[in-house]
Amino acid sequence: MTTPSVPFMLSRCTGCGHHFSLAIAACSQCGGQSFEVVPASGRGVVRARSEVWRAPDAFWRQYVPYALVLVRLDEGPVLMGHAAREVAIGDAVHASNAMLGDHRVIRFEPVASDSFVRGAIA
């Protein structure tokens, strides 16, 4: 199900370096209006999780139960993605692209605690 990792991109304020996952008009930290698109590390920590047992349509029904997580990326933004059902709140994870049928999704995989150093990405 998982394809080789392809990093997703974030917007970064050129004035103060604050990261955003969505396009915005002005930086909430410094008010700057100049942004650059930068690759995300894909690393973060699970802040919330939910298991879907009642899928919205026939496509997603074939995958139930599946876990959705909210991950606070090391850069700051929070992204939602899929994860293994064993992934728990507080787990360190890394994002990869995965295909579910013809749907490309972000899938967060657990990171071994000995290879995950908090704060390694400024």
Interacting residues with Zn ion (CB under 5 A): 13, 15-16, 18, 27, 29-30, 32
Residues in the chain: 122
Nearer to Zn ion among residue 36 and residue 51 (C-beta): 36
**At closest approach, how far in Å is the CB of 25 from Zn ion?**
12
Half-sphere exposure of 121 (CA within 13 A, CB side): 14
Tokens at 86, concatenated? 């064993």
Residue 103: its H or E element: strand 103-110
Tokens at 44, concatenated? 């973060």
Nearer to Zn ion among residue 2 and residue 34 (C-beta): 34
**At closest approach, how far in Å is the CB of 7 from Zn ion?**
22
Nearer to Zn ion among residue 14 and residue 62 (C-beta): 14
**At closest approach, how far in Å is the CB of 18 from Zn ion?**
5
Nearer to Zn ion among residue 2 and residue 14 (C-beta): 14
**At closest approach, how far in Å is the CB of 36 from Zn ion?**
11
Query: What is the distance, to the nearest Å, from the Cα of residue 86 to the centroid of all Cα atoms in its chain?
Result: 17
Are the C-beta atoms of residues 81 and 107 closer than 8 Å to each other? yes
Distance separating alpha carbons of residues 71 and 67, to the nearest angstrom: 12
